[in-house]
A = this chain, B = another copy of it.
């Protein structure tokens, strides 16, 4: 089931702004400002308010994941359920890379087993210097 069908199925309307925002959301986590600029570049005029509201809806439907990388603002990324991953951010240039960790499952499972909390989600973010910025 694609993203548009998923909207419809839940009784929400397929609107131009929503379609455009979904089109622009890639694997790379974007800020609201970046989404807005990206749409403007495509000559699509959408108010930031509508972007915020659309993202809220997408979050609720599980279409989009909200992440914080310590920048003081949120980032949004299209939620590919088949590809659980985390991020590493370059302290110098801000470049963001995806990472998948083989040993991760063990760690999370053990956390779930041992914690008194009922764990529902986690975030693991790395910070460092990317290849270019190490020189």
Q: How many copies does the complex hold?
A: 2
Cross-chain contact A128 with B118 (CB below 8 angstroms): yes
Cross-chain contact B110 with A107 (CB below 8 angstroms): no
- What residues of B have a CB within 8 angstroms of the CB of A40 in the complex? none
Chain A contact residues (Cβ within 8 angstroms of B): what range? Answer: 35 or more
Q: How far is the CB of A128 from chain B (nearest CB, A)?
A: 4
Q: Per a CB cutoff under 8 Å, which of B116, B122, B125, B126 touches A131?
A: B116
What 1/0 mask marks residues of chain A from 102 to 135 whose CB sits below 8 Å from any chain B CB? 1110110011000111111111111111110010
- What residues of B have a CB within 8 angstroms of the CB of A68 in the complex? 68, 70
Cross-chain contact A121 with B115 (CB below 8 angstroms): no
Which residue numbers of A lie inside 8 Å of B, CB to CB? 66, 68, 70, 72, 74, 88, 90-91, 97, 99, 101-104, 106-107, 110-111, 115-131, 134
Known: A103-B110, A119-B126. 5 other contacts (CB 8 A): A72-B74, A104-B107, A107-B107, A115-B128, A124-B125
